[in-house]
Homo-oligomer: A and B are copies of this chain.
Amino acid sequence: MKDIAEHDLQHNIPLARRASPDQRTVVRVGSHDIGDGGLTIIGGPCTVESLEQTIDIGEHVKASGARILRGGAFKPLTFPYRSAKTFELREEGVAILAEASRRVGLPVVSELTDIRFVALFAEKIDMIQIGSRNMQNFPLLEAVAGTGKPVLLKRHFGCSLRDWLGAAEYLLYHGNPHVVLCERGVAAPHTHQPTSRFIVDLQVVPAVHEVTHLPIIVDPSHATFRRGYVAPIARAAVACGADGVMMDVHPVPEEAAVDPLQALDYDAFGALSSQLQKIWSVLHP
């Protein structure tokens, strides 16, 4: 029994499907490889606030074992209004990320939401993130595929594995093999509301490894929206076999411009990274 019907594997995701048990894609981001058998830890601010802060965060997460810096410059928000505290630096944010990346010595991943900024991201950003809400924005997927840059494809919170791999197939079909999947929770009824909006689907980790050769990472920060859940779910993701995890990190989380409830501070991130490495070693003795 497979997680995806044989018909789909053959006809709908011929490029994404795993043709043999040992087929696996390794995605190089800067000088780091995702999916090569090591654990990839990604950390950084939810939203870029300043160059100084981004560098500071970058240096701390690097010291704790992160191999990629994350940071948001464009943020899709549910409503068109933003509080005074919320800023979206857009092009300036991209420039800050590029500069911080260079200074810290870590490649950078950031979310692209608009087809008109594809060239900018292709020039400045090492790995382009397609956010949950744009998972099935097919013109955007085509344009990003055309850049040849590594892509981090987040799963929409209302979509199945089949839909998700269909989106990955668009990237592969349009010529870009450098695709990493990212689970960030699915909408479910009767979760422990009201504080957690999504349930992280960790069964999808072995399911992904069964049917596709693409690596998969988990984002416990945006999946749970709660600091207290980030460490448990990050550990669970690694224990489940994920190729990596991505977390929001902020020097003073409760002062973060966006999503202040979910970021980890430096100490928490450091302690967690250490646990993650040890759990990884249990699985790969």
Contact = CB atoms under 8 A, between A and B. Distances in A.
A108 interface: no
B239 A166 contact: no
A110 interface: no
A11 B81 CA distance: 8
Interface residues of A, number: 77
A207 B192 contact: yes
Contact of A199 (B4, B138, B188, B282): B188
B76 A192 contact: no
A84 interface: no
A158 to B, nearest CB: 1
Interface stretch (A47-55, A95-103, A146-154, A224-232): A224-232
A137 B141 CA distance: 13
A31 interface: no
Contacts of A193: 3, 160, 162
A119 to B, nearest CB: 14
A174 B159 CA distance: 29
Contacts of A205: 232
B228 A210 contact: yes
A86 interface: no
Contacts of A226: 1
Contacts of A138: 76-77, 80, 113
Contacts of A207: 192, 195-196, 229
Contact of A139 (B113, B163, B261): B113
Given A160-B193, A169-B79, A239-B236, A203 B210 contact: no
A169 B232 CA distance: 26
A106 to B, nearest CB: 25
Contacts of A246: none
A161 B279 CA distance: 28
Pairs A-B, 10 closest by C-beta atoms = A158-B158, A239-B239, A187-B189, A236-B236, A161-B192, A235-B239, A188-B188, A160-B190, A133-B136, A12-B79
